[in-house]
Structure 1
Amino acid sequence: MGLSRAQSPVFVIRRLRAWGIITQSTFMRTLFLTFPKQLLWRSIKMHFSFLSPAEAHSKHAFEKTEQSLLSHFDSCATMRGLTSIHAQMIKSGFDQHVFVAARLVSFCCVSIHGSVDYAVSLFNSLKWRDGFMWNTMIRGFGRMNRAHEAVLFYQKMREEKDPDSFTFCFLIRISSQLSEVGFGKQLHCSVLKHGSGFNNYVCNNMVHMYAMFKDIKAAQMVFDEMTDRDLISWNAIIDGYVNCGEYKEALRMFSRLMRDGFIPDEVTLVVALSACTELGAPDFGRWIHFNIDNSLKLQKTVSIFNSLIHMYTKCGAIDTAIEVFNKMTNRNIVSWNTIILGLAMHGQATKALRFFDDLLENRLEEPDGITFLGALSACTHTGQVDEGRRYFELMEANYGLSPNIKHFGCMVDLLGKSGHLREAYNLIKTMPIECNAVVWRTLLGACMMHGDVELGEKVSWHLKKVEPDHSGDFVLCSHMYASVGRWNDVLEVRGQMKQMQVQKPEHGNSFTSVFAITN
């Protein structure tokens, strides 16, 4: 049905211009702010069919200015450049132009060079904000980990606009930044109320949210109620079970995925292999490996083969892990770290150091802190003190890597086991970071092993300052005194344990001086 002249927004605005109520510079801006878009575009098409020469020139000038402003965003990479564009917008009367203003807000909220605070001031200056702008602001707060401000903006949004599926997706992701699942459950109710409960993107995010809060039953419920699951849905629920430590259920869901005819992607396989790793299920992992070998696309995915190496090393299949590594056509530093650490933790230190030396000599990848951690761990297993010292010095001297507490812990373990107790003690005392109880305990174990009671007492004093009531420390001191026949001191330590009500470790627990390494 056509529009009468009185119904046409262009006709109305032309009358206002004729009466002098609005100026030509605000003509198009007023259009965009006053009328629904569908009605607006129908009217503009009618209007442009009988534009006067002056109006046609005005239309051309408007489009030229609009395109000029928009083109500046393509090369803008700093807030200084953005404020310059903003100034041009104000000067040319485009400061309230919905589309151009949305680009400003989007840059501030999404770009790594943006400023959410600037976006807030810009947003508040706009007379009309569409759903895209509200969603972008919420997204920006989430990117900056300002979850509470995102929630406040959502509450304001509901006074002007109805939230849509994008709103809920951003908010559900942000809810994981909060300390409890309560807000997420409120969002779930709002999703159902606004009819977004059948939107895959929203449901996938809810599955992930509940899993992050360890409420896997709620995650499974959302998953089961989905009528049109996609691969992302399956990835979310499988990853959820892994995150909640239910590895058998994760593999059961992976089997269901395969039976339902879905083809797993990189994410699916990495998560499934991590479940095999934690569960110690190499047979299931080999079945996944078989499926990978039958896919040309997956054979080129580095992260999948890194996961395979990790799974095989953790399950003790070292030879298979090395075979997978050698067959890789593309590797990254994670590949090298995984094989070096895996070999080191399984006592195959010589092979681990061979891989490490190959990496350095051939400059295949730039080593990082984890690479050196694996090398130092291997040196500890083999007792190669000189090599360990050399690698420790190489970190900062050649690669600019500052050792962290784990690197110092490995060096203390290496020096302590080999009898260089004073050197290990001096290393701790000169550390640029605060020493923790684990490293002190490692040195105390070495003092017990080598019967150095004098140094052991110093270490014990430091240890009690850091962690005064750890039962293992009292047991170590007692054993240290017993190893040199100082029975009165043994009785004194046991008396201190009774006085402080420190319980001995339960049967089956033991102390090991090996410094724990996590990749």
Structure 2
Amino acid sequence: MIRKATANKSCKRHQRSNLWRNCTNFRTLKQIHALMVVNGFNSNSHALRELIYASAIALPSAIHYAHQLFAEISEPDIFMWNTLLRGSAQSSKPSVTMPLYAQMERHYVRPDCYTFQFVLKACTRLSWVNSGKVVHGKIVKHGFEWNKFTRNTLIYFHANCGEIRIARALFDDMAKRDVVASSAMTAGYARRGELSMARRLFDEMPEKDLVSWNVMITGYVKQGEMESARELFDMVPKRDVVTWNAMISGYVLRAEYQQAFELQREMRSAGEYPDEVTMLSLLSACAESGALDVGEKLHSSILDMDEGEMSIMLGNALIDMYAKCGSIEKSFQVFHGMKEKDVTSWNSILGGLAFHGDPEECINLFEKMRRTKFAPNEITFTGVLVACSHAGKVHAGRRYFNLMKNQYKILPNIRHLGCMVDMFGRAGLLEEAFEFIDTMEIKPNGIIWRTLLGACKIHGNVQLGRRANEALLKLDHDESGDYVLLSHIYALKGEWDGAEKVRKLMDDSGVKKEVGFSLIESENRAFLQFVLDSKRQIESRNRTIVDVKAKNVESVT
């Protein structure tokens, strides 16, 4: 017990002034730093603590600057070390936390109970199991296993990425009545897919906080059990934005877009305002369902929410949504209106232009991108090669393909190779397309052969079409469209015996024509209109073939 008391005694909280509250942006932070340098940077330890807290915690985007400041401090105390560890653990690069702790050990700075909580959180985020076990050993060595908060962090680490039996032993030993520990165990079981165990623990909890509810709902959503998730969602005493986001994202992942939109309306009616995560899920739903009107309303809400500013992620999502909904002009407006961009911003607009808009403009914009600080990646070149294919620019396509390999050192993937085959096929260079396939280092998949088969149909090449079809049949996919394409090639060339043989082969192989459908919108709701390939439709199709054949015979005679 003396050991426990000593450990907890070292966990005193440090008082903070309001200096960190004044650091509302990076510019102010640098001004305060400059003022401290003028007055003697290392002369006031209390002000140093405030500066490190402001740069590492209050301004998460300034964590790199916090590390630079920390390096200038001659004798940082435990509060400064812990603050930088905490900021690093919750930053976009938590991997710097462990080296920072190792540096702390080399300086013989004795850790307190907060130290290991931050290091363990970094290990959990990175799924660094071995490093987490080493930290567990150090916690025992320093006598902090008795500390409630450290123990709960240990439970969370082992439950989520360590050993569940260790987490359970820690939980059963002293934490069963702790709601945080119960939530950690529930989250661990849910993340591992053991929903029955998670639900049993959840139901046994004497007190359930909102985190516990959100953990269980998220667990069901990730496993695709939306009915169970909705049952708990309706039972939550008080929801927060995380609760709503879990359900909305679940519906989007299951392509139940109308339910996602309806839930968003319920969310607003309940007085809960969406955050960036909500908007990203809903914009994805608009992009996939083609709900342009909903997307435009979300765009207005984002501008109101952020007072005209928006994050890079939201800007990229808007570009993608407008492009997929066919509004390339608005994609351009969002792109040009973004004050900050990343390579994904460029990829989004290039992809939108290539697939849904103007391939010529896509190629021009790519040349502009090459003059910026953003280096194109494999996704960029996919969009550019698609644009070259759609625009019929074979020479440019070859040049960009070689540029990707030789200058940017990007290995072509199956998408790039498929774009090249499609480009040759559209241009009628079927022989070159087959030669390209023969030299591919990656085995061609069904999509590539099917692309080539479609090109053979367009250009009426029966011989090469037969070869592409044979390659497809060897893949054992038995897609009805493959048979239909080859049959059409024969029919277009007037080789009716060949067309009938393909149809017979299709029937003998037991391949059924897939149900066709189209998406229509009525009263702001999307519906799937199915077009069944019924017996009457098949008979009508066969009669058409006979009529065309008879007309060809008459024209010859």
Which TM-score tier does this pair reach, normalised by the shorter chain? 0.7 to 0.9
**Deviation for aligned residue 1:172:** 4.6
Q: Say if 1:169 and 1:202, in contact at 8 Å, map to a contact too.
A: yes
Query: Does residue 227 of structure 1 match 2:237?
Result: yes
Which amino acid is the alignment partner of residue 145 of structure 2? Answer: R
Distance 1:104 1:279, change over 3 A: closer
Query: Does residue 193 of structure 1 match 2:196?
Result: no
* 2:487 corresponds to which of 465, 478, 483: 478
Q: How high is the TM-score relative to the length of structure 2?
A: 0.68
1:360-413 per-residue CA deviation (whole Å, 9 max, x = no partner) reads 2x2252222222111111222221111111221221222222221111111111
**Deviation for aligned residue 1:285:** 2.2
Q: Say if 2:116 and 2:139, in contact at 8 Å, map to a contact too.
A: no
Query: Does residue 316 of structure 1 match 2:332?
Result: no
Q: Say if 1:437 and 1:467, in contact at 8 Å, map to a contact too.
A: no
Q: How high is the TM-score relative to the length of structure 1?
A: 0.72
Query: Does residue 453 of structure 1 match 2:462?
Result: yes
Report the counterpart of residue 404 of structure 1 in structure 2: 413
Q: Say if 2:290 and 2:325, in contact at 8 Å, map to a contact too.
A: yes
1:289-345 per-residue CA deviation (whole Å, 9 max, x = no partner) reads 223333454623222222222222222222222222222222222222222222222
Q: Say if 1:105 and 1:119, in contact at 8 Å, map to a contact too.
A: no
Separation (CA, whole Å) in 1 of partners of 2:428 and 2:222: 46
Distance 1:264 1:468, change over 3 A: closer
SS of structure 1 residue aligned to 2:374: coil
Separation (CA, whole Å) in 2 of partners of 1:82 and 1:448: 65
Q: Say if 1:306 and 1:335, in contact at 8 Å, map to a contact too.
A: yes
Report the counterpart of residue 154 of structure 1 in structure 2: 167
Separation (CA, whole Å) in 2 of partners of 1:320 and 1:67: 52
Separation (CA, whole Å) in 2 of partners of 1:373 and 1:191: 46
* 2:349 corresponds to which of 339, 363, 375: 339
* 1:372 corresponds to which of 355, 363, 381: 381
Query: Does residue 129 of structure 1 match 2:145?
Result: yes
**Deviation for aligned residue 1:414:** 0.9
* 1:270 corresponds to which of 253, 263, 280: 280
Query: Does residue 385 of structure 1 match 2:394?
Result: yes
Distance 1:232 1:495, change over 3 A: closer
Query: Does residue 423 of structure 1 match 2:405?
Result: no
Distance 1:235 1:365, change over 3 A: same
Distance 1:138 1:456, change over 3 A: farther
Report the counterpart of residue 441 of structure 1 in structure 2: 450
Within 5 Å, give how 1:150-299 maps onto structure 2: 150=164, 152-163=165-176, 164-175=178-189, 177-179=191-193, 183-197=194-208, 199-297=209-307, 299=309
Report the counterpart of residue 506 of structure 2 in structure 1: 497
Work out which of the two has the higher radius of gyration on C-alpha atoms and give 1 or 2.
1
Distance 1:318 1:154, change over 3 A: same
Count of residue correspondences: 444
**Deviation for aligned residue 1:415:** 0.6
Distance 1:501 1:371, change over 3 A: same
Distance 1:118 1:35, change over 3 A: closer
* 2:359 corresponds to which of 349, 353, 368: 349
* 2:134 corresponds to which of 119, 126, 130: 119
**Deviation for aligned residue 1:85:** 8.3
Q: Say if 2:353 and 2:359, in contact at 8 Å, map to a contact too.
A: yes
Q: In percent, how many aligned pairs have the same letter?
A: 31
**Deviation for aligned residue 1:442:** 1.0
Q: Say if 2:190 and 2:216, in contact at 8 Å, map to a contact too.
A: no
Separation (CA, whole Å) in 1 of partners of 2:512 and 2:265: 46
Which amino acid is the alignment partner of residue 32 of structure 1? Answer: R
Unaligned runs of 5+ in 1: 1-29, 42-63, 511-519
Distance 1:33 1:319, change over 3 A: closer
Which amino acid is the alignment partner of residue 351 of structure 1? Answer: E
| Aligned-CA RMSD value | 4.0
**Deviation for aligned residue 1:439:** 0.8
**Deviation for aligned residue 1:128:** 7.9
**Deviation for aligned residue 1:460:** 2.5
Distance 1:303 1:105, change over 3 A: closer
Separation (CA, whole Å) in 2 of partners of 1:338 and 1:99: 42
